[in-house]
Amino acid sequence: GLDQIQLLSPTKEDLPTCPKTSPFIGGPLKVSFPLDVTLDDIAQKNPLVQLGGHYQPPNCGALHHTAIIIPYWARRKHLHQLLYHLHPFLQRQQIHCTIYAVHQNRARRLTQALPRDTKAKGGLSRTEMARITQMDNYTFNRGKLLNVGFKEDMKENNWQCLYFHDVDLIPKDDCNIYDCSAFPMHASVAIDKFQYELPYETYFGGVMALQPTHYLKINGFPNNYWGWGGEDDDIASRIFLNKMLISQPPAVFGRYHMMKHGHDRGNKANPKRFHLLSKTHLRWRYNRMNNLLYSLLSKEQTPLYTNLTMHFGIDY
Ligand code: UD2
Ligand code: MN
């Protein structure tokens, strides 16, 4: 209600609320990529974006309060291109928002830093080795990054809507409004890489939007998917297990361009993902946001986004 909005934007209380449909949104977008765009260029083009990548419409009280959470690791070019497109897009939608890049600190492989004589003494057992490999923080963990993103940005603001957003997806239509609906939403339903179709029916990868209540109901995201794949299907299962449905924007609006990329180092397909997925119904209550082990190494407010860097511990 109105009280909540005033609480979220205390300085805007005498402004009229923004119209239901922003007058600035157009239709389909031509997505093109300027060469070598720098953060300074983007900041100059978006003078109303405040430190930390924060924005609220200057002339009306926003109807939507959305945090954008981007799991991120060594994709600087993609991040810059995404910021270049996303900031003006969100401004045209008159959304009050902050963009957070949740960055996994990539430690030097501990296995390389082991004392020289480890091998001489007979080496490590396979289990010890596996434990260390996980602990070295080298393998990417998208579920966990998203959990940290949720926890940290809710400390800053009472966000009503959370967009969990792959760094390489650019929205291609202004009518894909970045607000939330009654059910968790899968926004990236039509990606050019998949010929603008869902690759399979319960597919939930790319960009998803949840209200905090949805997130809490499903106990957050899984922390135990290391490497590529499966965590998005796990999240979809959690939603169904909690008797919610997944909503979608109309396919003509939910169009995205995926920037080209190969498989990243440290994000190999996780061979355990099918096994883990078969256990979601048993484990979703325990593997969750509450037993999330991490330390926040830094929180940096840059002109276009808030950067959260964390180091992971192991949890199960
Ligand atoms: C698909 C899903 C994605 C996720 C993933 C499996 C789509 C459109 N997306 O992505 O949501 O479920 O499968 O884990 O289907 N990242 C980095 N640095 C890395 C590795 C990953 O920043 O080194 C981040 C980045 O935001 C990236 C995301 O993780 O977009 C997903 O990784 P991906 O793009 O390599 O995998 P993809 O496209 O198969
Ligand atoms: Mn991708």
pLDDT tens sequence across 3-55: 454 445 545 568 999 999 999 999 999 999 988 889 999 999 999 999 999 99
Maximum alpha-carbon separation in the chain: 73
Which ligand lies nearest to the CA atom of residue 206 in the structure? 1
* CA 19 to ligand 2 center in whole angstroms: 34
Kindly state the tokens that stand for 106: 């990539």
Q: For residue 110, give Cα distances in angstroms to 132, 139, 199.
A: 7, 12, 37
- Predicted TM-score of the model (pTM): 0.90
Which ligand 1 atom is at minimum distance from the Cα of 188?
8
* CA 258 to ligand 2 center in whole angstroms: 6
* CA 171 to ligand 2 center in whole angstroms: 13
Q: Label residue 316 by pLDDT band (50, 70, 90).
A: very low
Helix (H) or strand (E) segment spanning residue 293: none
DSSP 259: P
167 touches ligand 1 (CB under 6 Å): yes
Residue 223 has pLDDT above 50, yes or no: yes
pLDDT at 290: 74
pLDDT at 34: 87
Q: Label residue 181 by pLDDT band (50, 70, 90).
A: very high
241 touches ligand 1 (CB under 6 Å): no
pLDDT tens sequence across 80-111: 999 999 999 999 999 999 999 999 987 655 55
Which ligand lies nearest to the CA atom of residue 71 in the structure? 1
Kindly state the tokens that stand for 265: 């180092």
Residue 272 contacts residue 22 (beta carbons within 8 Å): no
Kindly state the tokens that stand for 41: 């260029």
* CA 169 to ligand 2 center in whole angstroms: 7
Secondary structure (3-state) at 240: helix
Pocket test for ligand 1, best of 78, 104, 166, 273 (most atoms within 8 A of CB): 166
Which ligand lies nearest to the CA atom of residue 207 in the structure? 1
Q: Which pairs with CB-CB distance under 8 Å and at least 24 residues apart come from 139-142?
A: 139/226, 139/227, 139/266, 139/267, 139/268, 140/73, 140/104, 140/226, 140/227, 140/228, 140/264, 140/266, 140/267, 141/104, 141/223, 141/225, 141/226, 141/227, 141/312, 142/71, 142/225, 142/231
Kindly state the tokens that stand for 25: 């949104």
Pocket test for ligand 1, best of 142, 147, 186 (most atoms within 8 A of CB): 142
Which ligand 1 atom is at minimum distance from the Cα of 266?
23
Which ligand 1 atom is at minimum distance from the Cα of 207?
11
Return the residue whose CA atom lies nearest to atom 1 of ligand 1: 205
Q: Label residue 295 by pLDDT band (50, 70, 90).
A: confident
Secondary structure (3-state) at 264: coil
